[in-house]
Chain A
């Protein structure tokens, strides 16, 4: 392990000067990203929490200050749970939450069902085919997310490609209403997040020990049974990693329900957007964000656990 310890040597010049103040190059390398993330990632969340506890007001910025100097020159802290209270009592938010969980969950399942055979097929393919096939899976990710979601408007609309093909085939007489329904949202999320399911699944399946399957075959186990009792259980870590990569961002998805879902597809990300941009209620939007974050803390921690294992430290 190349543990770069505080160098024994005394440097001259600029480095030496830094060292004299107890600052090694290593400390500098560590300080910059650490400070950046503290300032631009951690502190913003504390501010969200703070503003979620403030009251909305007609001003710029549109919320009350938590800490105010009173006339007796004492600090007065005004905290209100009004925003959280209105979230719990208003059906709109509860419905949006439950809907988000449902939509994210079903889309994750769709990704798993569609993505597993693909990942498995690539892992079983001839090694020289694997890299190009993986490239094909990753390629759509490099094109614009927004444009890929937009493509589905042309496919799913009443006068769209899908309805025209189905009517031409004589399967249906009248166009199906798919666009602007929750179904379109499921399709959009599954489509956009499918590569995130396939990649971790592939990397688990590819590393799978083939000798186990050979042993099972030698002992007379049929391939489907070997798959169910060996491959499937061993690929659970990949499934979990993929499911988290789909489920967590899908919970807060805004663009897909907005473009494909129609006005009835309530999702929490959309509610937050509306509170913020249309109603200009920043404290309520912050409260929605805090509630969403609380819900996602467990999945995010789980994800970091998986991520940490993959990244591995020496």
Chain B
């Protein structure tokens, strides 16, 4: 902890500001009363209503499928783009490419969504594909905006990583493809996993871009949540929020434990290696 009381107060304020709203949602999700100001009794009523809401459940299932497929494609494209930017040196059009990759990181979503929709409409007019808007167009749009985040994660890992192992493998005659799959890929695996998780989360959570490119038959979870909270408070959303926070917390704790164990293993290996030599 920092020593100065001013810094401690600043840190505490920031953390309280970030966590009080989330904590409040969790508490309220167990409140039997509809109102946020009246606590009647502890109950799982809203969780029950959430699980009986078929429309919401089918939207959640669609969102999960979309996020899974988009994240998987985004990881492949993002890793390729990260390799290009970190390992291919100066190639023709590098600045242009790096501009295209990083623009979606900050581009307002309304612009991205509108642009994507107009592309799909024009493509359908010209080639007849993709036919209408639905799951496919949502996935294509999500791949495009999430691959940028994967690229940043993978690229920063590659840049901070020593290239000497790859060079050594190449000096020993390994082909570029083999170097990538045997040396580089295992080393950047943690970055690829976090890139996938990031892409999955972003896709699962996206409302604006999805609203532009989705069709009448494909409504995702954020769209359902949005239309219900637009009219004010909706206690079912509290229950949903609590479930999301629980899943994220479990995931983060599991990742933390895994990382700590890996670190321990690595230290042990290093000690063994030193003793052996």
Interface of A with B (CB < 8 Å)?
A: 1-4, 7, 9, 11, 15, 25-26, 29-30, 32-34, 36-45, 47-48, 51, 61, 114-118, 120-122, 124-126, 129, 133, 135-137, 139-140, 142-148, 150-155, 157, 159-161, 164, 191, 194-195, 198, 244-245, 248-249, 251-255, 258-259, 269, 272-273, 276-277, 282, 285-286, 289, 292-293, 296, 299-300, 303-304, 307-308, 310-314
Contacts and interface: CB of A to CB of B under 8 A. Distances in A.
Interface string B99-113: 111111111111100
Given A153-B232, A160-B36, A252 B108 contact: yes
A39 B204 CA distance: 23
Interface stretch (B49-57, B90-98, B265-273): B90-98
B118 A47 contact: yes
Contact of A146 (B8, B15, B85, B207): B207
Contacts of B226: 146, 255
A252 B110 contact: yes
B88 A30 contact: yes
B91 A36 contact: no
A137 B90 contact: no
Given A7-B176, A248-B106, A147 B114 contact: no
Contacts of B212: 276
Nearest 6 CB-CB pairs, A to B?
A252-B108, A117-B10, A44-B115, A118-B14, A151-B21, A121-B11
Nearest to A275: B114
B81 A33 contact: yes
Given A150-B229, A161-B24, A249 B111 contact: no
Nearest to B151: A33
Given A4-B176, A15-B177, A32-B77, 17 more contacts: A2-B170, A9-B175, A25-B176, A33-B77, A33-B84, A137-B14, A150-B229, A150-B237, A154-B24, A191-B18, A255-B207, A285-B114, A289-B111, A303-B105, A307-B102, A307-B105, A314-B86
9 contacts: A4-B88, A33-B77, A44-B118, A47-B115, A136-B18, A146-B205, A153-B229, A248-B107, A252-B111
Contact of A249 (B7, B10, B109): B109
A41 B252 CA distance: 32
Interface in B230-247: 230, 232-233, 237, 240-241, 244-245
Contacts, number: 289
Contacts of B177: 15, 25
Given A34-B97, A41-B144, A300-B103, A115 B241 contact: no
B71 interface: no
A135 B256 contact: yes
A126 B103 contact: no
A32 B37 contact: no
A246 B11 CA distance: 20
Contacts of B8: 121
Interface of B: 1-2, 4, 6-11, 13-15, 17-22, 24-25, 28, 35-37, 77-78, 80-81, 83-91, 93-95, 97-111, 114-116, 118-119, 121-122, 125, 140-141, 143-144, 147, 152, 155-156, 159, 163, 166-167, 170, 175-177, 179, 201, 204-205, 207-208, 211-212, 222, 225-226, 229-230, 232-233, 237, 240-241, 244-245, 248-249, 251-252, 256
Contacts of B11: 117-118, 121-122, 133
Most buried by B among A251, A253, A307, A308: A307
Q: Which of B95, B98, B105 has the most CB of A within 10 A?
A: B105
B2 A124 contact: yes
Contact of B77 (A15, A36, A152, A155): A36
A147 B7 contact: no
Residue picked from B93, B106, B152, B211, most chain A C-beta under 10 Å = B106
B114 A276 contact: yes
A154 B229 CA distance: 11
Contacts of A115: 14
A37 B77 CA distance: 10
Given A144-B241, A304-B98, A311-B156, A292 B24 contact: no
A45 B241 contact: no
B10 A120 contact: yes
A117 B229 contact: no
Contact of A129 (B1, B7, B13): B1
Contacts of B85: 311, 313
Contact of B17 (A122, A191, A269): A191
Contacts of A154: 24-25, 28, 36, 233
